[in-house]
């Protein structure tokens, strides 16, 4: 580790923040690329968020990742925002620019799409309908990314239908809302199925879905990565579908921030995956 007086400093702001894998990911890259810099966890309560961000900027930080519950506040506080952050309505990456302004970006959808692009080489966005399960914050970023990638139709099913309808109304995306109970009928001719709900996560209920009628060519992804092989991915693999696990999304979403703060576009590879999975 190199840490001189000129080191570039960034971190992740959350409340709590102890569960975050970001310090591990950025620490791995800082070592790998021999960069004079550091990245630290910053537990900050909602009441202190704005003051802390402004203080970090004044203290010479290059920027910060932002996680729950601060993502909306982060966008509101920034001077400028990327188009994708504005569309998603939240920011997970703040960049303190040389002119003193704060730029808000949102790289969640980017991470999802990059992971898919690299792990499912045969999948092409424009070739058919995508099915998305869930309508929370993660779904929002993924829907924006899929629409921007050119997916012609997105079938969105959520337990609370009103939340899915709200997303369909708010986002500039070709969304058709499907009843949660009818989620299986949406699979018939889809080319992608994505779970953005918490179902299947360790300690949560399993995702119940019969994928028998889904084409075997459809790519199946899950944003849950604990466990890495969720019950949905297991089922999809047994059905013959290509599967993409959720760890890659987490790793790829970290890349734009690292690039902005430390000047290198880092690589997501097997060694990084193994390192993050260690604990």
Which residues bind to ligand ATR, rule: CB under 6 A? Answer: 134-139, 158-160, 163, 196-199, 205
Rounded Cα distance, 182 and 164, in Å: 14
**Of 62, 71, 182, 216, which residue is the catalytic one?**
71
- Between the CA of residue 216 and those of 223, 234, 264, what are the distances in Å? 20, 14, 38
DSSP, collapsed to helix, strand or coil, labels residue 123 as: coil
CB of 209 to ligand ATR, least distance (A): 11
What does DSSP say about strands 154-158 and 175-179: parallel, antiparallel, or unpaired?
parallel
Nearer to ligand ATR, 178 or 199 (CB): 199
* Nearer of residues 88 and 260 to ligand ATR, judged by Cβ: 88
Active site includes 24?
Answer: no
Cβ 15 to ligand ATR shortest distance, Å: 15
Residue number, 25 or 135, with CB nearest to ligand ATR: 135
Phi/psi of residue 42, each to 5°? -130, 95
The minimum distance between CB 241 and ligand ATR, in angstroms, equals 21
Q: Please report how close the Cβ of residue 205 comes to ligand ATR at its closest, in angstroms.
A: 5
Closer residue to ligand ATR in complex, CB, 56/244: 244
For residues 113 and 92, is the Cβ–Cβ distance under 8 A?
A: no
CA neighbours closer than 13 Å in the CB half-sphere of residue 278: 9
If you count DSSP H runs as helices and E runs as strands, how many of each does the chain have, helices first? 11, 12
What residues are labeled active site?
A: 71
């Amino acid at each position: 580790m190199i840490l001189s007086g000129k080191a570039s400093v960034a971190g992740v702001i959350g409340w709590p923040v102890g569960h975050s894998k970001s310090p591990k990911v950025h620490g791995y890259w800082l070592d790998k690329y021999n960069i004079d810099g550091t990245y630290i966890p910053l537990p900050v309560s909602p009441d202190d968020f704005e003051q802390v961000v402004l203080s970090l900027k004044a203290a010479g930080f290059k920027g910060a990742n932002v996680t729950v519950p601060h993502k909306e506040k982060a966008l509101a506080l920034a001077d400028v925002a990327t188009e994708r952050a504005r569309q998603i309505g939240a920011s997970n990456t703040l960049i303190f620019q040389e002119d003193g302004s704060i730029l808000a970006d949102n790289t969640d959808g980017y991470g999802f799409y990059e992971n898919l692009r690299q792990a499912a080489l045969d999948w092409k966005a424009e070739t058919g309908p995508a099915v998305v399960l869930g309508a929370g914050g993660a779904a929002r970023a993924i829907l924006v990314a899929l629409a921007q990638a050119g997916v012609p139709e997105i079938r969105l099913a959520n337990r609370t239908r009103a939340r899915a309808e709200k997303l369909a109304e708010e986002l500039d995306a070709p969304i058709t809302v499907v009843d949660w109970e009818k989620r299986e009928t949406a699979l018939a001719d889809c080319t992608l199925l994505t779970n953005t709900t918490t179902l299947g996560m360790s300690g949560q209920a399993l995702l119940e879905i019969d994928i028998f009628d889904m084409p075997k060519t459809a790519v199946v992804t899950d944003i849950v990565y604990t466990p890495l092989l969720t019950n949905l991915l297991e089922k999809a693999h047994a059905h013959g579908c290509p599967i993409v696990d959720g760890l890659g999304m987490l790793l790829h979403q970290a890349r734009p921030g690292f690039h902005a703060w430390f000047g290198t576009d880092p690589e997501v590879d097997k060694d990084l995956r193994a390192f993050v999975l260690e604990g």
